[in-house]
Amino acid sequence: MDFISVLKVSLLVPCIALACTTALHAFGDTDTSTCSMEMYGNDTAAFWACRTQFAHQSNWFPSPIAGLFSYQVWNGYDGFWQNGAVLETMTNFVANTNGTNRRYLSVINGGERDLYSLLEAYGPYPSFDDMGWYGLAYTRIYEVLGNDMFLQDAKDIFDWCWRTGWDTSGACAGGFYFDNSFASKQTITNAQMLQLTAKLFRITNNTDYKNKMEQIYHYILNNSLINETTYLVADGATYDCTPSNVYGPTYNSGVMIGAMVELYKISSDPSYTDLAFKMAIGVIERSCDAEGILVESCTPTCDEDALMYKGIFVRNIRYLMDVLNDKTKRDYLQSWLELQIESNIMHNMCDEVPITKCNISYKDGPPYFNKSGPVFSPDWRGPFSYGAPMQQTSALDLFISAIQPGTECSGSFCNYDPPNPPPQPLTCNSKPCPEGEDCCEYSPYTSYTCCYTNQHCNNTTGVCDNN
Ligand SMILES: *[C@@H]1O[C@H](CO)[C@@H](O)[C@H](O)[C@H]1NC(C)=O
Ligand SMILES: *[C@@H]1O[C@H](CO)[C@@H](O)[C@H](O)[C@H]1NC(C)=O
Ligand SMILES: *[C@@H]1O[C@H](CO)[C@@H](O)[C@H](O)[C@H]1NC(C)=O
Ligand SMILES: *[C@@H]1O[C@H](CO)[C@@H](O)[C@H](O)[C@H]1NC(C)=O
Ligand SMILES: *[C@@H]1O[C@H](CO)[C@@H](O)[C@H](O)[C@H]1NC(C)=O
Ligand SMILES: *[C@@H]1O[C@H](CO)[C@@H](O)[C@H](O)[C@H]1NC(C)=O
Ligand SMILES: *[C@@H]1O[C@H](CO)[C@@H](O)[C@H](O)[C@H]1NC(C)=O
Ligand SMILES: *[C@@H]1O[C@H](CO)[C@@H](O)[C@H](O)[C@H]1NC(C)=O
Ligand SMILES: *[C@@H]1O[C@H](CO)[C@@H](O)[C@H](O)[C@H]1NC(C)=O
């Protein structure tokens, strides 16, 4: 999630900084007939998850320029990492219906990539947390769908991150660096790697993972990343081995909660779930408005990365709910999730007929499939502003997290899995840029970027010049 890196390799990521909102296809089709309440035994959250996923896939998958990437891409995530993190969301839909909802299975399986292909995503290589999202998603896919290739890839990812990113100098008890500048240590990487190595140990029994898991947890404690009064999770650590004074992003707590769930699964020690519950309450108390609706602290000026944080938070809340023995605590979290759902459906959704009335954003040109709603915008309090895959994924995570245990899918649409057209790279001849923006073609790539309105394309160099 290193936006600087995205810009550096923008040669491979045309149109990156744009919202190409032009409605090039005006179908306005809202065929959501493949989702029904009956399919899910009337579970409301599962029904909305089905519709939301349908819209997510119809609007933004695959990217028209998918062929340019070494990993599976949607049309309009702002970062490489989100294309990995969404696979975990989709897999949880399968998991939370006891394996009976298997929609878009070929997309989940199509996300498999070996370590080398993922490392190709950015030069010289992605930041460690970017890789962490793939590691976590792949391990989850292995757990739920049992494909050995995903497990092997996840191990390779963890081993590479350890080899490349773990601080062996002994300073501050180790810790993963954020990226290859080795300049800072962010909590997200360490929380991810704790969750990942604990999962790998649970799955493989290989004590090497347990050993590393203990070192990572020691680092987290040594740097006091989980505050013992507020149970909020600091965003990073300083050179003095103390927590940074930033407690905003909800995904830090989310992934740390998921890590505690894994430590609990390994040890059966309830102190881990107690701590995880306190961390959950910490965020709910700090980051919710007077009505109890979760608001990311950067709102309304969040960068696009942050639009997926709430989804990552609630996904991990569900992991906690699945191991809580205390029914009161579980019920509390369930009703809190349902409150978020209610707010989204009442205030933060666009589901108009025709759907072209909704403001939907694309980065890589028009979608392959007919546009569909419902679409959700970033702020769960509403009002609806615009649809894009980051905020759609957060809403999807929310619905999937609130599916009642025991919910199953029945009927032929439980296996709905439309074929995806092969990637067809666009060129400037497709007239993909919004009004007022030059289209600039890279050579020798058959791809393009749209220049900012204050720029012009230099047709000799294929670069947008400021003039
Ligand atoms: C779902 O709701 C419909 C309409 O209220 C009802 O006819 C049906 O029996 C319900 N199905 C289940 C599994 O509860
Ligand atoms: C943290 O680790 C350092 C060594 O890196 C050690 O000197 C220090 O005592 C540790 N602090 C805590 C609180 O564990
Ligand atoms: C791991 O060890 C546990 C307990 O000893 C055992 O039940 C389980 O089958 C082992 N799993 C693997 C993958 O070896
Ligand atoms: C934990 O949070 C409390 C309350 O904000 C603060 O006073 C304390 O310094 C924090 N602890 C650490 C280790 O940062
Ligand atoms: C898009 O919608 C039109 C009109 O409803 C329909 O005929 C067409 O088959 C749809 N295309 C796809 C790819 O779903
Ligand atoms: C549509 O969304 C874009 C962001 O993608 C925003 O800049 C624009 O103002 C929105 N348009 C309307 C009419 O709300
Ligand atoms: C999940 O499915 C399995 C196999 O069909 C079944 O034995 C089990 O009871 C189901 N679990 C739940 C929670 O529904
Ligand atoms: C295009 O770029 C080249 C190389 O930087 C430069 O020499 C040329 O003047 C530019 N053309 C225009 C029209 O700006
Ligand atoms: C570059 O080419 C495009 C399309 O061929 C043209 O519209 C544009 O004016 C050219 N730009 C310059 C600076 O010559």
Tally the residues of the chain: 467
- Ligand 1 nearest-atom number relative to CA 37: 1
Give the tokens for residue 403. Answer: 């599916």
Q: What is the DSSP string of 224-236?
A: T-B-TTT--B-SE
Phi, psi values for residue 166, rounded to 5°: -80, 135
Q: Which comes out higher in pLDDT, residue 17 or 136? A: 136
User: 77 CA to middle of ligand 4, Å?
Assistant: 35
Number of domains in the chain: 2
- pLDDT score of 66 more than 80: yes
pLDDT tens per residue, range 168-177: 999 999 999 9
Residue nearest to ligand 4 atom 5, measured at CA: 230
Least confident of 94-108, 120-134, 323-337: 120-134
Instruction: Tell whether 229 and 154 lie within a shared domain.
Output: yes
Same domain, yes or no, for 102 and 215? yes
What spacing in Å lies between the alpha carbon of 411 and ligand 1's midpoint?
A: 15
Q: Do 403 and 454 share a domain, yes or no?
A: no
Model confidence at 433, pLDDT cuts 50, 70, 90, reads confident
344 and 457 share a domain? no
Tell me, yes or no, whether 447 and 384 share the same domain.
no
Sign of CA dihedral 18, 23, 25, 30: positive
Shared domain for 143 and 229, answered yes or no, is: yes
Residue 58 has pLDDT above 50, yes or no: yes
- CA 37 / ligand 1 centre spacing (Å): 8
- Per cent of the chain over pLDDT 70 is 91
Residues 173 and 236 in one domain: yes
- My answer on whether 294 and 373 are in the same domain is yes
- CA nearest to 382, candidates 272, 452, 271, 300: 300
DSSP code at position 10: G
Pocket flag, ligand 9, residue 459 (CB < 6 Å): yes
Per-residue pLDDT of 355-381, as tens digits, reads 999 999 998 888 889 999 999 999 999
Does any ligand 3 atom lie closer than 6 A to the CB of residue 169? no
CATH classification at residue 254:
1.50.10.20
For a pocket test of ligand 6, which of 78, 358, 379, 386 has the largest count of ligand atoms closer than 8 A to its C-beta?
Answer: 386
Confidence of residue 17 (pLDDT cuts 50, 70, 90): very low
Q: Which of 440, 460, 463 to mutate to test the pocket of ligand 8 (most atoms within 8 A of CB)?
A: 460
Instruction: Tell me what the pLDDT averaged over the chain comes to.
Output: 90
Cα(103)–Cα(94) distance, integer angstroms? 8
Contacts of 369 (CB under 8 A, 6+ apart): 57, 58, 59, 61, 418
Residue nearest to atom 1 of ligand 4 (CA): 227
Under DSSP, the state recorded for 308 is G
Q: What is the dihedral of CA 374, 378, 379, 384, to 10 degrees?
A: -40
pTM value? 0.85
Please name the residue ranges forming H helices in 353-388.
Answer: none
Question: Are 365 and 459 in a shared domain?
Answer: no
27 in ligand 5 pocket by Cβ < 6 Å? yes
Instruction: Answer yes or no: do 461 and 349 share one domain.
Output: no
Distance in Å from the first CA to the final CA of the chain: 30
Give me the pLDDT at residue 82, please: 98
Listed range (24-28, 214-218, 362-366) with the worst mean pLDDT: 24-28
Q: Is the dihedral of CA 93, 95, 97, 99 positive or negative?
A: positive
Last residue of a domain, one of 391, 408, 424: 424
* Ligand 7 pocket residues where CB is under 6 Å: 98, 406
Does the Cβ of 369 fall within 6 Å of ligand 5?
yes
Of the residues 409, 424, 439, which one is the last residue of a structural domain? 424
Q: Which residues contact 283 (CB under 8 A, 6 or more apart)?
A: 232, 250, 253, 254, 294, 313
Cα(407) to centroid(ligand 6), Å = 37
Give the pair of three-digit tokens for residue 204.
């493989």
Instruction: Tell me which residue has its CA closest to atom 11 in ligand 8.
Output: 458
- Top pLDDT among 70 and 341 is at 341
Task: For residue 69, name the pLDDT band (cuts at 50, 70, 90).
Answer: confident
| Three-class SS of 13-58 | CCCCCCCCCCCCCCCCCCCCCCCCCHHHCCCHHHHHHHHHHHHHHH
Same domain, 284 and 177: yes
Q: Cβ(352) to ligand 5 under 6 A? A: no
| Backbone φ and ψ of 287, nearest 5° | -105, 10
Pocket test for ligand 9, best of 430, 440, 441, 457 (most atoms within 8 A of CB): 457
Average pLDDT over residues 317-326: 98
Residues 150 and 290 in one domain: yes
Q: Distance between CA 206 and CA 175 in Å, rounded?
A: 21
Q: Ligand 1 centroid vs 272 CA: distance in angstroms?
A: 39
Please tell me whether residue 381 adopts helix, strand or coil conformation. coil
User: Which ranges of 146-294 would DSSP assign to H, the alpha helix?
Assistant: 148-165, 187-204, 207-222, 250-267, 270-287
- Domain span at residue 146 reads 3-424
Bond before 354 cis per omega within 30 degrees: yes
User: In terms of C-beta density within 10 A (0-12 exposed, 13-18 middle, 19 or more buried), how is residue 108 classed?
Assistant: buried
